[in-house]
Amino acid sequence: MIGWWIVNLIVFLHVVLFSTPLWVTYFYNGFLYVIGALIAFRSTLVRNVFIIGTIAGILELGVDHFLVAFTGTLVYPTSLPMLVSSPLYMPLAWAIVTTHLGYVGIRLAQVYGRKAAAIGPAVLAMTLIGFYEYGAYHAGIWMYVDAPLLMVDHVPLYIVVAEGVMFSTLYEFARLKRPVLAGVGFALAISLSYIGTYFLFAGLGTFL
C-alpha cells in the first residue's frame, strides 16, 4: 500500500509540475487503478474497500453532474472522452482515493478505535484531497468558479468540508460484509455531503 501511495504521489506531481497533456491523466488513473486491483486481489483487507471505491466512483458521476450542470461551480475540460459530465477516468480516481483513505480508516480502527477511524480519514481527506484539488487547477485538469461563500485559493471551502464529511463515514461502510451494498451507501454519503454543503454555504452566503 505504501508503494502505491508513493507511485500515486509521483504521478500527481508529474502531471502538476510538468503540465502534461490531458490524455496522460487518463493513462495514469488507469495505471494506478490496475495497481490497486492487483493489491486488492492479494489482500482481503484492501479488496473490500477497493470494491466500495469502485462502486461509489461509478455512482458518484451523478453528483458530479450536479456540481457541473446545476451549481455551475465545477468545470472540466471537454477535449477528451467524458462520461455523463465527468472525465472518463473519474470513477477510477474515486476508487483509488477511497481505497487509500478506507485502508487508513481500517488501520486506525484496529489500533485506536472507531472514533479515530472517522476523524483520521476526514482530516486526511480535507488536506490530501484539498492538495489534489489545488494541483488539479494548476494542471488544467479541472477548476471551480463562482463557488458560494469562500474559496481557499482555487478550492471552494464547501468542497473541502464536504470531503471531510463524506470520508468520516467511510469506515462504517467498510465494516459491512457486503462491499457492493457498502459502495452504494458510500456513494449516497458522497452525494449528500456535496449537495448538503453546497446549499448550506449558499444559504450562509446570502447572510454574510
pLDDT in tens, 11-57: 988 988 888 888 899 999 999 999 999 999 999 889 999 999 999 99
Q: What is the CA radius of gyration of the chain?
A: 16
Q: What is the pLDDT of residue 80?
A: 77
Mean pLDDT of the chain: 92
Say if CB 77 and CB 140 are below 8 A apart.
yes
Say if CB 110 and CB 159 are below 8 A apart.
no
Q: What is the pLDDT of residue 197?
A: 96
Q: The pTM is what?
A: 0.93
Kindly list the domain boundaries of the chain, sorted by start residue.
Answer: 2-205
